Chains A and B, each alone.
Chain A
Protein backbone atom coordinates (compact mmCIF):
# COMPACT_ATOMS: atom_id res chain seq x y z
CA UNK A 1 0.00 0.00 0.00
CA UNK A 2 1.49 3.39 -0.88
CA UNK A 3 0.55 7.02 -1.15
CA UNK A 4 2.51 9.73 -2.97
CA UNK A 5 1.69 13.40 -3.03
CA UNK A 6 3.00 16.63 -4.45
CA UNK A 7 2.22 20.26 -3.90
CA UNK A 8 2.40 20.56 -0.14
CA UNK A 9 5.12 21.67 2.27
CA UNK A 10 6.80 18.66 3.83
CA UNK A 11 5.12 18.66 7.24
CA UNK A 12 1.68 19.11 5.66
CA UNK A 13 2.42 16.33 3.18
CA UNK A 14 3.21 13.91 6.01
CA UNK A 15 0.05 14.87 7.88
CA UNK A 16 -2.09 14.54 4.76
CA UNK A 17 -0.70 11.09 3.99
CA UNK A 18 -1.21 9.94 7.59
CA UNK A 19 -4.81 11.12 7.42
CA UNK A 20 -5.34 9.32 4.11
CA UNK A 21 -3.93 6.07 5.52
CA UNK A 22 -6.30 6.43 8.46
CA UNK A 23 -9.28 6.62 6.04
CA UNK A 24 -8.15 3.33 4.49
CA UNK A 25 -7.70 1.71 7.90
CA UNK A 26 -11.16 2.88 8.96
CA UNK A 27 -12.78 1.34 5.86
CA UNK A 28 -11.03 -1.93 6.66
CA UNK A 29 -12.24 -1.90 10.27
CA UNK A 30 -15.84 -1.35 9.12
CA UNK A 31 -15.97 -3.76 6.22
CA UNK A 32 -13.55 -6.60 6.84
CA UNK A 33 -15.05 -10.09 6.57
CA UNK A 34 -12.44 -11.26 9.04
CA UNK A 35 -12.95 -8.79 11.89
CA UNK A 36 -15.82 -9.92 14.20
CA UNK A 37 -16.63 -6.33 15.19
CA UNK A 38 -16.91 -5.00 11.63
CA UNK A 39 -20.27 -3.93 10.20
CA UNK A 40 -19.99 -6.77 7.67
CA UNK A 41 -19.49 -9.41 10.36
CA UNK A 42 -22.35 -8.04 12.44
CA UNK A 43 -24.63 -8.11 9.39
CA UNK A 44 -23.56 -11.66 8.49
CA UNK A 45 -24.16 -12.77 12.08
CA UNK A 46 -27.68 -11.43 12.62
CA UNK A 47 -28.76 -9.20 9.72
CA UNK A 48 -31.55 -11.64 8.87
CA UNK A 49 -33.03 -11.50 12.39
CA UNK A 50 -33.13 -7.77 13.09
CA UNK A 51 -32.24 -4.49 11.33
CA UNK A 52 -28.62 -3.56 11.97
CA UNK A 53 -27.34 0.01 12.36
CA UNK A 54 -24.12 0.47 10.39
CA UNK A 55 -21.70 3.30 9.67
CA UNK A 56 -22.63 5.73 6.87
CA UNK A 57 -19.59 4.56 4.87
CA UNK A 58 -20.86 0.98 5.00
CA UNK A 59 -24.22 2.22 3.75
CA UNK A 60 -22.44 3.99 0.90
CA UNK A 61 -20.69 0.79 -0.12
CA UNK A 62 -23.85 -1.31 0.18
CA UNK A 63 -25.72 1.16 -2.02
CA UNK A 64 -22.92 0.95 -4.58
CA UNK A 65 -23.08 -2.87 -4.37
CA UNK A 66 -26.82 -2.89 -5.00
CA UNK A 67 -26.39 -0.48 -7.92
CA UNK A 68 -23.77 -2.74 -9.51
CA UNK A 69 -25.95 -5.82 -8.92
CA UNK A 70 -28.93 -4.17 -10.60
CA UNK A 71 -26.95 -2.96 -13.60
CA UNK A 72 -25.11 -6.27 -14.08
CA UNK A 73 -28.23 -8.44 -13.67
CA UNK A 74 -26.75 -9.94 -10.55
CA UNK A 75 -23.36 -10.83 -12.00
CA UNK A 76 -21.97 -8.59 -9.29
CA UNK A 77 -23.35 -9.87 -6.01
CA UNK A 78 -21.98 -9.10 -2.56
CA UNK A 79 -23.64 -12.22 -1.14
CA UNK A 80 -21.08 -14.50 -2.83
CA UNK A 81 -19.38 -14.70 0.56
CA UNK A 82 -21.12 -18.09 0.79
CA UNK A 83 -19.36 -19.44 -2.33
CA UNK A 84 -16.02 -18.01 -1.22
CA UNK A 85 -16.42 -19.86 2.10
CA UNK A 86 -17.31 -23.09 0.21
CA UNK A 87 -14.13 -22.74 -1.85
CA UNK A 88 -12.10 -21.98 1.25
CA UNK A 89 -11.13 -18.51 0.06
CA UNK A 90 -12.81 -17.06 3.15
CA UNK A 91 -13.18 -18.60 6.63
CA UNK A 92 -16.61 -19.64 7.91
CA UNK A 93 -17.98 -16.79 10.00
CA UNK A 94 -17.77 -17.66 13.72
CA UNK A 95 -20.97 -19.05 15.22
CA UNK A 96 -22.48 -19.78 11.80
CA UNK A 97 -25.06 -22.54 11.92
CA UNK A 98 -26.18 -23.03 8.32
CA UNK A 99 -24.86 -22.05 4.92
CA UNK A 100 -26.98 -19.17 3.59
CA UNK A 101 -28.76 -19.36 0.24
CA UNK A 102 -29.84 -15.77 -0.41
CA UNK A 103 -28.76 -13.23 -3.01
CA UNK A 104 -28.27 -9.50 -3.42
CA UNK A 105 -32.03 -9.07 -3.71
CA UNK A 106 -32.30 -9.98 -0.03
CA UNK A 107 -30.25 -6.96 1.03
CA UNK A 108 -32.39 -4.02 2.09
CA UNK A 109 -31.06 -0.60 2.94
CA UNK A 110 -33.96 0.85 4.91
CA UNK A 111 -35.06 4.50 4.89
CA UNK A 112 -33.92 4.79 8.52
CA UNK A 113 -30.39 3.87 7.40
CA UNK A 114 -30.40 0.42 8.99
CA UNK A 115 -29.74 -2.69 6.95
CA UNK A 116 -31.76 -5.85 6.94
CA UNK A 117 -31.34 -9.17 5.16
CA UNK A 118 -34.54 -10.88 4.12
CA UNK A 119 -32.79 -14.24 4.12
CA UNK A 120 -29.55 -15.29 5.84
CA UNK A 121 -26.57 -14.03 3.86
CA UNK A 122 -22.81 -13.90 4.03
CA UNK A 123 -21.85 -10.70 2.30
CA UNK A 124 -18.29 -9.99 1.33
CA UNK A 125 -17.54 -6.37 0.44
CA UNK A 126 -13.90 -7.10 -0.33
CA UNK A 127 -14.75 -6.71 -3.99
CA UNK A 128 -15.41 -2.99 -3.70
CA UNK A 129 -14.39 -1.80 -0.23
CA UNK A 130 -10.76 -1.41 -1.27
CA UNK A 131 -11.71 0.77 -4.23
CA UNK A 132 -13.98 2.78 -1.94
CA UNK A 133 -11.11 3.20 0.53
CA UNK A 134 -8.85 4.50 -2.25
CA UNK A 135 -11.53 7.03 -3.22
CA UNK A 136 -11.88 8.20 0.38
CA UNK A 137 -8.11 8.52 0.78
CA UNK A 138 -7.91 10.50 -2.47
CA UNK A 139 -10.65 12.91 -1.38
CA UNK A 140 -8.86 13.37 1.92
CA UNK A 141 -5.63 14.33 0.13
CA UNK A 142 -7.42 16.64 -2.29
CA UNK A 143 -9.18 18.42 0.56
CA UNK A 144 -5.77 19.13 2.06
CA UNK A 145 -4.50 20.82 -1.08
CA UNK A 146 -2.33 18.27 -2.90
CA UNK A 147 -1.62 19.11 -6.56
CA UNK A 148 -0.93 15.48 -7.41
CA UNK A 149 -1.53 12.20 -5.65
CA UNK A 150 -1.26 8.48 -6.27
CA UNK A 151 -3.03 6.17 -3.83
CA UNK A 152 -2.23 2.50 -4.33
CA UNK A 153 -4.00 -0.08 -2.16
CA UNK A 154 -2.68 -3.42 -3.33
CA UNK A 155 -3.21 -2.73 -7.01
CA UNK A 156 -6.36 -0.59 -6.75
CA UNK A 157 -4.96 2.78 -7.73
CA UNK A 158 -6.28 6.30 -8.13
CA UNK A 159 -4.30 9.13 -9.68
CA UNK A 160 -5.28 12.79 -9.40
CA UNK A 161 -3.63 16.01 -10.49
CA UNK A 162 -1.26 17.24 -13.08
CA UNK A 163 0.83 14.18 -14.04
CA UNK A 164 0.03 11.06 -15.99
CA UNK A 165 1.23 8.07 -13.98
CA UNK A 166 2.57 4.93 -15.66
CA UNK A 167 1.28 1.71 -14.10
CA UNK A 168 2.72 -1.70 -14.93
CA UNK A 169 0.25 -4.57 -15.26
CA UNK A 170 1.03 -7.86 -13.54
CA UNK A 171 -0.77 -10.41 -15.64
CA UNK A 172 0.55 -13.38 -13.71
CA UNK A 173 2.92 -16.26 -14.19
CA UNK A 174 1.09 -17.77 -17.17
CA UNK A 175 1.61 -14.75 -19.38
CA UNK A 176 5.29 -14.04 -19.53
CA UNK A 177 6.24 -10.89 -21.39
CA UNK A 178 9.90 -11.51 -21.68
CA UNK A 179 11.07 -8.26 -23.20
CA UNK A 180 8.25 -5.79 -22.65
CA UNK A 181 5.61 -5.16 -20.03
CA UNK A 182 2.09 -3.85 -20.63
CA UNK A 183 1.65 -0.45 -19.08
CA UNK A 184 -1.32 1.86 -18.60
CA UNK A 185 -0.53 5.55 -18.36
CA UNK A 186 -3.30 7.10 -16.31
CA UNK A 187 -4.27 10.71 -15.62
CA UNK A 188 -7.12 11.73 -13.31
CA UNK A 189 -8.63 8.29 -12.96
CA UNK A 190 -8.63 4.91 -11.26
CA UNK A 191 -7.56 1.44 -12.22
CA UNK A 192 -8.34 -1.93 -10.68
CA UNK A 193 -7.19 -5.34 -11.87
CA UNK A 194 -8.02 -8.94 -11.34
CA UNK A 195 -5.68 -10.96 -9.24
CA UNK A 196 -7.40 -14.31 -9.59
CA UNK A 197 -4.28 -16.06 -10.77
CA UNK A 198 -2.68 -15.56 -7.36
CA UNK A 199 -5.44 -17.25 -5.42
CA UNK A 200 -6.49 -20.16 -7.61
CA UNK A 201 -7.33 -23.43 -5.97
CA UNK A 202 -9.18 -26.64 -6.76
CA UNK A 203 -12.58 -27.44 -5.30
CA UNK A 204 -14.43 -30.59 -6.35
CA UNK A 205 -12.56 -30.84 -9.64
CA UNK A 206 -13.10 -27.21 -10.59
CA UNK A 207 -10.57 -24.42 -10.52
CA UNK A 208 -11.80 -21.54 -8.39
CA UNK A 209 -10.53 -18.04 -7.86
CA UNK A 210 -11.79 -15.10 -5.86
CA UNK A 211 -14.00 -13.76 -8.66
CA UNK A 212 -17.51 -15.17 -8.74
CA UNK A 213 -20.22 -14.84 -11.36
CA UNK A 214 -22.93 -13.85 -8.89
CA UNK A 215 -25.81 -14.80 -11.18
CA UNK A 216 -24.51 -18.30 -11.90
CA UNK A 217 -22.68 -18.72 -8.57
CA UNK A 218 -19.70 -20.17 -10.44
CA UNK A 219 -16.07 -19.09 -10.47
CA UNK A 220 -15.08 -16.64 -13.19
CA UNK A 221 -12.22 -17.63 -15.52
CA UNK A 222 -8.98 -17.76 -13.55
CA UNK A 223 -6.73 -17.51 -16.60
CA UNK A 224 -8.10 -14.17 -17.62
CA UNK A 225 -6.50 -10.86 -16.73
CA UNK A 226 -8.75 -7.82 -16.55
CA UNK A 227 -8.08 -4.23 -15.69
CA UNK A 228 -10.78 -1.59 -15.62
CA UNK A 229 -10.20 2.14 -15.86
CA UNK A 230 -12.87 4.42 -14.41
CA UNK A 231 -13.03 7.75 -12.71
CA UNK A 232 -13.83 6.34 -9.28
CA UNK A 233 -11.91 3.41 -7.86
CA UNK A 234 -15.01 1.78 -6.34
CA UNK A 235 -16.40 1.54 -9.90
CA UNK A 236 -13.16 0.16 -11.36
CA UNK A 237 -13.02 -2.39 -8.55
CA UNK A 238 -16.61 -3.62 -8.99
CA UNK A 239 -16.57 -3.71 -12.78
CA UNK A 240 -13.40 -5.83 -12.73
CA UNK A 241 -15.49 -8.65 -11.24
CA UNK A 242 -18.15 -8.35 -13.92
CA UNK A 243 -15.68 -8.16 -16.80
CA UNK A 244 -13.87 -11.21 -15.38
CA UNK A 245 -17.13 -13.15 -15.62
CA UNK A 246 -18.68 -11.72 -18.77
CA UNK A 247 -15.82 -10.45 -20.89
CA UNK A 248 -16.79 -8.52 -24.00
CA UNK A 249 -20.50 -8.61 -23.08
CA UNK A 250 -19.80 -5.79 -20.61
CA UNK A 251 -19.38 -3.00 -23.13
CA UNK A 252 -22.71 -1.37 -22.29
CA UNK A 253 -22.12 -1.56 -18.55
CA UNK A 254 -18.66 -0.06 -18.93
CA UNK A 255 -20.16 2.69 -21.08
CA UNK A 256 -22.72 3.49 -18.40
CA UNK A 257 -19.90 4.46 -16.07
CA UNK A 258 -17.74 6.07 -18.73
CA UNK A 259 -15.12 3.42 -18.13
CA UNK A 260 -13.08 1.00 -20.22
CA UNK A 261 -11.37 -2.34 -19.76
CA UNK A 262 -8.36 -4.21 -21.05
CA UNK A 263 -8.72 -7.98 -21.12
CA UNK A 264 -6.08 -10.61 -21.74
CA UNK A 265 -7.04 -14.22 -22.34
CA UNK A 266 -4.47 -16.90 -23.07
CA UNK A 267 -4.62 -17.64 -26.77
CA UNK A 268 -6.62 -14.49 -27.61
CA UNK A 269 -4.19 -11.77 -26.60
CA UNK A 270 -5.31 -8.29 -25.56
CA UNK A 271 -8.71 -6.71 -26.16
CA UNK A 272 -9.73 -3.16 -25.30
CA UNK A 273 -13.37 -2.67 -24.39
CA UNK A 274 -14.59 0.88 -24.59
CA UNK A 275 -17.63 2.72 -25.82
CA UNK A 276 -17.92 6.01 -27.70
CA UNK A 277 -18.63 7.76 -24.39
CA UNK A 278 -15.31 6.85 -22.85
CA UNK A 279 -13.37 7.45 -26.06
CA UNK A 280 -14.28 11.15 -26.03
Chain B
Protein backbone atom coordinates (compact mmCIF):
# COMPACT_ATOMS: atom_id res chain seq x y z
CA UNK B 1 0.00 0.00 0.00
CA UNK B 2 1.35 3.39 -0.90
CA UNK B 3 -0.23 6.81 -0.71
CA UNK B 4 0.88 10.34 -1.48
CA UNK B 5 -0.90 13.60 -0.64
CA UNK B 6 -0.50 16.69 -2.80
CA UNK B 7 -2.33 19.65 -4.29
CA UNK B 8 -3.21 19.65 -7.93
CA UNK B 9 -4.26 22.62 -10.04
CA UNK B 10 -7.95 22.49 -10.81
CA UNK B 11 -9.25 21.14 -14.12
CA UNK B 12 -6.27 18.81 -14.50
CA UNK B 13 -8.40 15.74 -14.94
CA UNK B 14 -11.80 14.19 -14.41
CA UNK B 15 -12.26 11.89 -11.45
CA UNK B 16 -15.15 9.64 -10.48
CA UNK B 17 -17.77 11.15 -8.14
CA UNK B 18 -18.78 10.55 -4.45
CA UNK B 19 -18.01 12.15 -1.09
CA UNK B 20 -14.28 11.38 -1.26
CA UNK B 21 -14.24 12.34 -4.93
CA UNK B 22 -15.47 15.46 -6.56
CA UNK B 23 -16.21 14.93 -10.22
CA UNK B 24 -14.32 17.64 -12.07
CA UNK B 25 -16.35 18.48 -15.16
CA UNK B 26 -15.02 20.26 -18.19
CA UNK B 27 -17.48 23.01 -19.00
CA UNK B 28 -18.24 23.90 -22.61
CA UNK B 29 -16.15 27.07 -22.16
CA UNK B 30 -13.21 25.13 -20.73
CA UNK B 31 -13.36 22.65 -23.63
CA UNK B 32 -13.47 25.53 -26.11
CA UNK B 33 -10.46 27.19 -24.52
CA UNK B 34 -8.54 23.91 -24.44
CA UNK B 35 -9.15 23.10 -28.09
CA UNK B 36 -8.87 26.57 -29.60
CA UNK B 37 -6.83 28.77 -27.25
CA UNK B 38 -7.46 32.49 -27.72
CA UNK B 39 -10.37 32.06 -30.14
CA UNK B 40 -13.89 33.37 -29.87
CA UNK B 41 -16.93 31.27 -30.66
CA UNK B 42 -20.00 32.25 -32.63
CA UNK B 43 -23.02 30.02 -32.04
CA UNK B 44 -24.32 28.53 -35.28
CA UNK B 45 -26.66 25.84 -34.02
CA UNK B 46 -28.98 24.29 -36.51
CA UNK B 47 -31.55 21.57 -36.96
CA UNK B 48 -30.88 18.76 -39.42
CA UNK B 49 -33.55 18.11 -42.01
CA UNK B 50 -34.95 14.62 -42.37
CA UNK B 51 -32.98 14.19 -45.60
CA UNK B 52 -29.74 15.26 -43.94
CA UNK B 53 -30.32 12.92 -40.98
CA UNK B 54 -30.99 10.01 -43.34
CA UNK B 55 -27.86 10.79 -45.38
CA UNK B 56 -25.74 10.93 -42.21
CA UNK B 57 -27.13 7.61 -41.04
CA UNK B 58 -26.45 6.07 -44.41
CA UNK B 59 -22.87 7.38 -44.64
CA UNK B 60 -21.80 6.71 -41.08
CA UNK B 61 -23.91 3.64 -40.32
CA UNK B 62 -24.84 5.28 -37.03
CA UNK B 63 -28.31 6.23 -35.85
CA UNK B 64 -29.04 9.97 -35.55
CA UNK B 65 -30.75 10.28 -32.16
CA UNK B 66 -31.30 14.01 -32.29
CA UNK B 67 -31.51 16.44 -35.20
CA UNK B 68 -30.28 19.33 -33.00
CA UNK B 69 -26.71 20.24 -33.88
CA UNK B 70 -24.97 22.34 -31.20
CA UNK B 71 -22.38 24.06 -33.33
CA UNK B 72 -20.06 27.05 -32.99
CA UNK B 73 -17.85 28.71 -35.63
CA UNK B 74 -14.34 29.29 -34.31
CA UNK B 75 -12.85 32.73 -34.99
CA UNK B 76 -9.40 31.27 -35.75
CA UNK B 77 -10.87 28.71 -38.15
CA UNK B 78 -12.75 25.49 -37.67
CA UNK B 79 -15.83 24.28 -35.83
CA UNK B 80 -16.74 23.32 -32.28
CA UNK B 81 -19.54 20.82 -31.64
CA UNK B 82 -21.19 19.58 -28.44
CA UNK B 83 -22.83 16.16 -28.65
CA UNK B 84 -23.49 13.15 -26.46
CA UNK B 85 -23.47 9.41 -26.75
CA UNK B 86 -25.20 6.73 -24.73
CA UNK B 87 -23.09 4.55 -22.43
CA UNK B 88 -24.42 1.51 -20.61
CA UNK B 89 -26.55 3.54 -18.20
CA UNK B 90 -25.96 7.18 -18.91
CA UNK B 91 -25.21 9.84 -21.49
CA UNK B 92 -21.64 10.94 -22.07
CA UNK B 93 -21.53 14.57 -23.21
CA UNK B 94 -18.44 15.39 -25.24
CA UNK B 95 -16.97 18.17 -27.35
CA UNK B 96 -15.48 17.82 -30.81
CA UNK B 97 -13.19 20.33 -32.51
CA UNK B 98 -12.82 20.32 -36.28
CA UNK B 99 -10.27 22.34 -38.21
CA UNK B 100 -11.38 24.33 -41.22
CA UNK B 101 -10.99 21.36 -43.56
CA UNK B 102 -13.34 19.35 -41.38
CA UNK B 103 -10.58 17.14 -40.01
CA UNK B 104 -10.86 16.19 -36.39
CA UNK B 105 -8.68 18.43 -34.23
CA UNK B 106 -9.54 17.25 -30.73
CA UNK B 107 -12.14 15.48 -28.65
CA UNK B 108 -12.86 16.11 -24.98
CA UNK B 109 -15.19 14.19 -22.68
CA UNK B 110 -17.13 16.79 -20.67
CA UNK B 111 -18.74 14.57 -18.13
CA UNK B 112 -18.46 10.91 -17.45
CA UNK B 113 -21.30 9.19 -15.64
CA UNK B 114 -21.14 5.51 -16.35
CA UNK B 115 -20.98 2.23 -14.44
CA UNK B 116 -17.57 1.51 -15.92
CA UNK B 117 -15.38 2.68 -18.72
CA UNK B 118 -13.49 5.65 -17.21
CA UNK B 119 -10.58 4.92 -19.52
CA UNK B 120 -12.12 6.86 -22.42
CA UNK B 121 -11.11 10.04 -20.58
CA UNK B 122 -7.41 9.16 -20.89
CA UNK B 123 -5.43 11.40 -23.20
CA UNK B 124 -3.76 8.56 -25.10
CA UNK B 125 -7.05 6.99 -26.10
CA UNK B 126 -8.58 10.28 -27.21
CA UNK B 127 -5.46 11.19 -29.21
CA UNK B 128 -6.23 8.37 -31.63
CA UNK B 129 -9.05 10.43 -33.12
CA UNK B 130 -7.00 13.51 -33.94
CA UNK B 131 -6.48 14.13 -37.66
CA UNK B 132 -9.18 11.78 -38.92
CA UNK B 133 -10.68 13.27 -42.07
CA UNK B 134 -14.29 13.36 -43.10
CA UNK B 135 -14.96 10.30 -45.17
CA UNK B 136 -12.83 8.19 -42.82
CA UNK B 137 -14.81 5.52 -41.12
CA UNK B 138 -13.26 4.58 -37.83
CA UNK B 139 -13.47 1.02 -36.67
CA UNK B 140 -12.81 -0.34 -33.24
CA UNK B 141 -9.71 -2.53 -33.04
CA UNK B 142 -8.62 -1.49 -36.53
CA UNK B 143 -7.95 2.21 -36.32
CA UNK B 144 -8.89 2.77 -32.65
CA UNK B 145 -7.24 0.91 -29.81
CA UNK B 146 -9.90 -0.60 -27.65
CA UNK B 147 -9.61 -0.49 -23.88
CA UNK B 148 -10.39 -3.54 -21.83
CA UNK B 149 -13.41 -2.92 -19.63
CA UNK B 150 -14.53 0.17 -21.53
CA UNK B 151 -15.83 -1.36 -24.73
CA UNK B 152 -19.35 0.01 -24.69
CA UNK B 153 -18.12 3.58 -24.19
CA UNK B 154 -15.27 3.19 -26.73
CA UNK B 155 -17.71 1.97 -29.36
CA UNK B 156 -20.21 4.70 -28.63
CA UNK B 157 -17.63 7.47 -28.78
CA UNK B 158 -16.23 5.99 -32.01
CA UNK B 159 -19.76 5.90 -33.43
CA UNK B 160 -20.32 9.49 -32.29
CA UNK B 161 -17.16 10.66 -34.05
CA UNK B 162 -18.14 8.82 -37.25
CA UNK B 163 -21.58 10.37 -37.11
CA UNK B 164 -20.20 13.89 -36.62
CA UNK B 165 -17.60 13.57 -39.38
CA UNK B 166 -20.45 12.59 -41.71
CA UNK B 167 -22.52 15.47 -40.30
CA UNK B 168 -19.74 17.89 -41.27
CA UNK B 169 -19.78 16.62 -44.87
CA UNK B 170 -23.53 16.75 -45.20
CA UNK B 171 -24.69 19.67 -43.07
CA UNK B 172 -21.77 21.98 -42.20
CA UNK B 173 -19.19 22.03 -45.00
CA UNK B 174 -21.31 23.83 -47.56
CA UNK B 175 -21.81 26.76 -45.17
CA UNK B 176 -18.08 27.13 -44.45
CA UNK B 177 -17.60 29.94 -46.95
CA UNK B 178 -20.53 31.95 -45.59
CA UNK B 179 -19.45 34.92 -43.45
Question: What is the interface of chain A, defined by CB distance below 8 A to chain B?
Answer: 1-10, 13-14, 17, 21, 150, 152-157, 164, 166-170, 177-189, 191-195, 198, 227, 229-231, 258, 260, 262, 270, 272
Chain A hits for B18, CB < 8 A: 1, 152-157, 170
Taking each of B1, B8, B15, B114, which has the highest tally of chain A beta carbons within 10 Å of its own beta carbon? B1
Residue of A1, A3, A188 touching B1 (CB-CB under 8 A) = A188
A19 to chain B: closest CB distance in Å?
Answer: 12
Question: What is the interface of chain B, defined by CB distance below 8 A to chain A?
Answer: 1-10, 13, 15-16, 18-22, 24, 114-119, 146, 148-151
A86 to chain B: closest CB distance in Å?
Answer: 23
Q: Looking at chain A's contact residues, is the secondary structure mostly helix, strand, loop, or mixed? A: strand
Chain B hits for A180, CB < 8 A: 7-10
Question: Nearest chain-A residue to B119 (Cβ)?
Answer: A4
Question: Nearest chain-B residue to A7 (Cβ)?
Answer: B148
Chain B hits for A193, CB < 8 A: 19-20
Question: Nearest chain-B residue to A168 (Cβ)?
Answer: B15
CA distance A8 to B21 in the complex (A): 26
**Nearest 10 pairs of A and B residues by beta carbon:** A155-B18, A195-B19, A155-B19, A193-B20, A155-B20, A189-B1, A170-B22, A13-B149, A180-B7, A154-B18
Chain A hits for B4, CB < 8 A: 164, 184-185
Are A167's CB and B148's CB within 8 A? Answer: no
Q: Known: A8-B149, A10-B146, A180-B8. Contact between A169 and B115, CB under 8 A? A: no
